Amino acid sequence: MRSAWSVAKREIFSFFVSPVAYVVLTVWLVYQGFTLYMLASYFAQSQYDAGAATQTPVTLFFGGTTLFYVVLLVIASILTMRLLAEERRTGTLEPLLTVPVGDVALVLGKYLAAMVFWTSLWVPTALYLVILKQYGSVDWGVAAASYLGVFGIGVFYMAIGTFMSAASPNPIIAAVLTFMLLGLMFLVGVGEFIFEGPMRDAFNYVSVWGHMSDFSKGIVDSRRLAFDASLAALALFLAVRVMQARRYE
């Protein structure tokens, strides 16, 4: 797995020396900061019983509003689009596939890099919570659970993005495909608000909204994480198969 790490290192390096990384990171942090500011202002103005409240700025920040998901779909697409599609577009896939590194190590390395990107977006947001703490109260247990939930979403979003990047001839197509597939899965998740009974549970299970509404209340449900992990495993498996199939073109 040394070669997977080598692939990841190169990818991470290339990402963080490109201006794209800083544009994405800046837009992301401004967007998230503004969202949290609005939520905090809203709670500061409205009168509510702090003791009985199930909703806090932190709960709403982590997936309580659609603001959260729209940007997530876009960001996930941008973070993963270059992974393999860029190598294919520029031809660097050829030297990369003619070294003694298996397709599994290659895909895992790329995925690992994507997880590092994802994590690097979220780590600075912890600072917002620290700031929030200066003016009110933050339940760190809830915050930790929320971050775990966010990481879980990353596990599966980054895997879908890796798969789409493996299957696309260039990064633009990869980004569009990732956005469409993740958007579709988000919409399927909306089914939890439409159906009743077991159907509702089923839709809730696949819904990122349902996923985050648990974690952002501090509920760590291992089924959610199992879902993320198994979907990620499936997507990465397909990515490996796509890389293998390419040799038979």
Contact between 19 and another protein per CB under 8 A: no
- Give Cα 63 distance to the centre of its chain: 12
Contact call for residues 159 and 237 (beta carbons, < 8 A)? no
Choose which of 100, 134, 135, 197 interacts with another protein (CB under 8 A).
100
Token reading at 124: 């600075």
**Under rule CB under 8 A, residue 95 binds another protein:** yes
Contacts of 125-131 spanning 24+ positions with Cβ under 8 A: 125/29, 125/32, 125/36, 128/32, 128/33, 128/36, 129/58
Does residue number 102 form part of the binding site for another protein (CB under 8 A)? yes
194-232 burial, b if ≥16 CB within 10 A, otherwise e? Answer: eeeeeeeeebbebbbbbbbbbbbbbeebeebbebbeebb
Q: How many residues bind another protein (CB under 8 A)?
A: 26
Choose one: 39-47, 90-98, 122-130, 187-195; the region binding another protein (CB under 8 A): 90-98
Q: Which position among 1, 13, 53, 190 is part of the footprint of another protein (CB under 8 A)?
A: 13
Range 220-249, binding another protein (CB under 8 A) = 247-249
Decide if residue 94 touches another protein (CB under 8 A).
Answer: yes
Told to check if 23 binds another protein by CB under 8 A, we report no
Q: 219, 24, 221: which is closest to 121 by C-alpha?
A: 24
The region of 14-22, 116-124, 130-138, 170-178 touching another protein under the rule CB under 8 A is: 14-22
Helix (H, G, I), strand (E, B) or coil at 40: helix
Based on CB atoms, which residue is closest to another protein, 79 or 138?
A: 79
Token pair recorded at residue 196: 């009743």
Among positions 47, 54, 98, 222, the unique one binding another protein when judged by CB under 8 A: 98
Residue span binding another protein (CB under 8 A) among the ranges 36-44, 87-95, 155-163, 228-236: 87-95
Q: Which is nearer to another protein, 200 or 241 (CB)?
A: 241
Retrieve residue 13's tokens.
């390096």
- Nearest distance, CB of residue 87 and another protein, angstroms: 9
Half-sphere exposure of 80 (CA within 13 A, CB side): 39
The least distance separating another protein from the CB of residue 15, rounded to whole angstroms, comes to 10
CA-CA distance, 66 to 68, in Å (whole number)? 5
1 binds another protein (CB under 8 A): no
Query: Nearer Cβ to another protein, position 82 or 217?
Result: 82
Contact present, 110 and 8 (Cβ < 8 Å): yes
Does residue 170 bind another protein (CB under 8 A)? no
Residues in contact with another protein by the rule CB under 8 A: 2-3, 6-7, 9-10, 13-14, 17-18, 90-102, 247-249
